């Protein structure tokens, strides 16, 4: 009896031991399974967050790309609109705040002065290979036409180029003023107003007009378009694009304008480097172009009768005409070779 009881006790203990081990092992697996399920759930949540962030970045990139495409189209339209279609816009780009009628009066006076000079000098034309090109009225009329139509526009173009060079030299400093003002907490309008008061001409007058347009509520885009039409430079175009992107997409304005200032200074340095590298060629072109006139003057001073044959004989007129045509072609070719547009 005792032996049977002992067997039952041992069997019960063995059963309890095996059951306990089974429950323990099953519980560990359940815990591990729960942990794995939790990890999988957490991983899925992280993946969904990453997918959501990627979707937001994709939407932001798409929005930025659409905005850039729109600004490219607007830039093409602006480039077409800034081309001077009439005399008034050319006077504006040259910085001449004068009416068109005053320019025409100046052109008329200049043409009359040049035509009167040719008439007083008494030059009546040339005879080339027996063909007479002597017509004093035609020469006076040609001089008047050149003085009234050609020469004023040449002077206007020179004034525009000189003004644009001054703007390029001063524009990077103006951007630095805006960057320092924005970093110190000043609004953009106030920074522009500071430039309009403390900068030299022509930067002062242009930023003063920009300040007036902003103060009257014309809006940033419209005011910048007016600025670009008055000063059609790449630097102004870059400035306008940076401000328009910042106003629509946001961002660090001081950093963007600081980078733009560095780019403009780099363009200026490159322009000066090209100018220095081409200075020798320009000096050679000037010497070659002036050489015939210098030699002709020296020959006239030593033997006037010898050089005057160019002006008194038919053969001299022919060679003189050929020389003027070849000199003109050479000057145009050399000018094309040594001019670099940056």
CATH of the domain at 195: 1.20.81
- 135 located within any domain: no
Quick one: 252 and 305 in the same domain? no
C-alpha to C-alpha distances, 124 to 50, 133, 140, 311, nearest whole angstrom: 88, 8, 9, 12
CA 10 to the chain's CA centroid: 98
Of 230, 259, 276, the residue at which a domain comes to its end is 276
Q: Is the model more confident about 312 or about 130?
A: 312
Quick one: 296 and 224 in the same domain? no
- Tell me which residue range forms the domain holding 201: 174-276
Question: What is the rounded CA–CA span in Å between residue 299 and residue 294?
Answer: 9
Quick one: 209 and 242 in the same domain? yes
Domain count, the chain: 3
pLDDT given for residue 41 in this prediction: 52
pLDDT given for residue 112 in this prediction: 92
Residue 146 has pLDDT above 80, yes or no: yes
pLDDT given for residue 214 in this prediction: 87
Quick one: 199 and 187 in the same domain? yes
Residue 174 has pLDDT above 80, yes or no: yes
pLDDT given for residue 109 in this prediction: 93
Q: If you average pLDDT over residues 241-246, what whole number do you get?
A: 86
CA 165 to the chain's CA centroid: 13
Confidence of residue 104 (pLDDT cuts 50, 70, 90): very high
Q: If you average pLDDT over residues 194-208, what whole number do you get?
A: 89
Residue 25 has pLDDT above 60, yes or no: no
Quick one: 260 and 186 in the same domain? yes
Quick one: 206 and 268 in the same domain? yes
Residue 105 has pLDDT above 90, yes or no: yes
Question: What is the rounded CA–CA span in Å between residue 76 and residue 80?
Answer: 6
Q: If you average pLDDT over residues 59-74, what whole number do you get?
A: 68
Residue 43 has pLDDT above 70, yes or no: no
- 339 located within any domain: yes
Q: Is the model more confident about 97 or about 6?
A: 97
- 219 located within any domain: yes
Helix (H) or strand (E) run with residue 149 in it: none
pLDDT given for residue 103 in this prediction: 92
- 97 located within any domain: no
Quick one: 288 and 208 in the same domain? no
pLDDT given for residue 107 in this prediction: 92
pLDDT given for residue 317 in this prediction: 79
Which ranges of 122-150 would DSSP assign to H, the alpha helix? 136-145
- 18 located within any domain: yes
pLDDT given for residue 90 in this prediction: 87
Quick one: 270 and 311 in the same domain? no
Q: Is the model more confident about 280 or about 21?
A: 280
Quick one: 191 and 267 in the same domain? yes
Quick one: 222 and 238 in the same domain? yes
Residue 262 has pLDDT above 80, yes or no: yes
Of 255, 276, 297, the residue at which a domain comes to its end is 276
- 231 located within any domain: yes
Residue 33 has pLDDT above 70, yes or no: no
Quick one: 248 and 310 in the same domain? no
Residue 126 has pLDDT above 90, yes or no: no
Cβ 67 vs Cβ 108: under 8 Å: no
- 152 located within any domain: no
* Arithmetic mean of pLDDT over the chain: 78
- 144 located within any domain: no
Instruction: Please choose, from the candidates 193, 189, 167, the residue with its C-alpha nearest in 3D space to the C-alpha of residue 95.
Output: 167
Quick one: 301 and 239 in the same domain? no
pLDDT given for residue 106 in this prediction: 92
Confidence of residue 22 (pLDDT cuts 50, 70, 90): low
Q: Which percentage of the chain shows pLDDT scores above 90?
A: 9
Residue 325 has pLDDT above 80, yes or no: yes
A 10 A CB-CB count for 228 gives 19
Contacts of 315 (CB under 8 A, 6+ apart): 309
Of 81, 106, 133, the residue at which a domain comes to its end is 81
Question: What is the rounded CA–CA span in Å between residue 52 and residue 49?
Answer: 5
């Amino acid at each position: 009896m005792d032996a049977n009881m002992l067997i039952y006790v041992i069997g019960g203990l063995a059963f309890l031991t095996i059951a306990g081990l089974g429950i323990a092992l099953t519980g560990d697996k359940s815990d591990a399974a729960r942990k794995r399920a939790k990890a999988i759930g957490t991983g899925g949540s992280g993946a969904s967050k990453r997918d959501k962030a990627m979707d937001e970045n994709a939407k932001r990139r798409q929005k930025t790309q659409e905005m850039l495409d729109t600004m490219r189209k607007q830039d093409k339209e602006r480039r077409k609109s800034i081309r001077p279609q009439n005399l008034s816009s050319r006077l504006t780009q040259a910085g001449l705040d004068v009416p068109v009628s005053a320019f025409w009066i100046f052109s008329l006076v200049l043409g009359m002065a040049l035509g009167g000079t040719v008439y007083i000098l008494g030059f009546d034309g040339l005879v080339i290979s027996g063909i007479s090109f002597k017509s004093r009225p035609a020469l006076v009329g040609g001089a008047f036409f050149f003085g009234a139509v050609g020469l004023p526009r040449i002077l206007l173009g020179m004034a525009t180029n000189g003004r644009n060079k001054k703007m390029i030299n001063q524009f990077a400093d103006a951007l630095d003023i805006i960057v320092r003002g924005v970093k110190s907490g000043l609004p953009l309008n106030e920074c522009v107003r500071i430039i309009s008061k403390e900068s030299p001409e022509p930067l002062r007058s242009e930023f003063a007009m920009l300040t007036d347009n902003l103060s009257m509520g014309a809006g940033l885009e419209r005011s910048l378009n007016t600025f670009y039409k008055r000063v059609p430079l790449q630097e102004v175009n870059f400035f306008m694009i940076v401000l328009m992107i910042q106003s629509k997409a946001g961002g660090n304005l001081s950093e963007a304008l600081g980078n733009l200032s560095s780019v403009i200074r780099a363009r200026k340095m490159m322009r000066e480097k090209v100018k220095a590298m081409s200075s020798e060629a320009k000096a050679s072109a000037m010497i070659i172009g002036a050489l015939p006139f210098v030699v002709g003057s020296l020959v006239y001073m030593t033997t006037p009768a010898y050089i005057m044959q160019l002006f008194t004989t038919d053969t001299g007129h022919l060679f003189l005409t050929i020389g003027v045509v070849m000199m003109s072609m050479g000057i145009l070719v050399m000018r094309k070779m040594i001019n670099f547009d940056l």
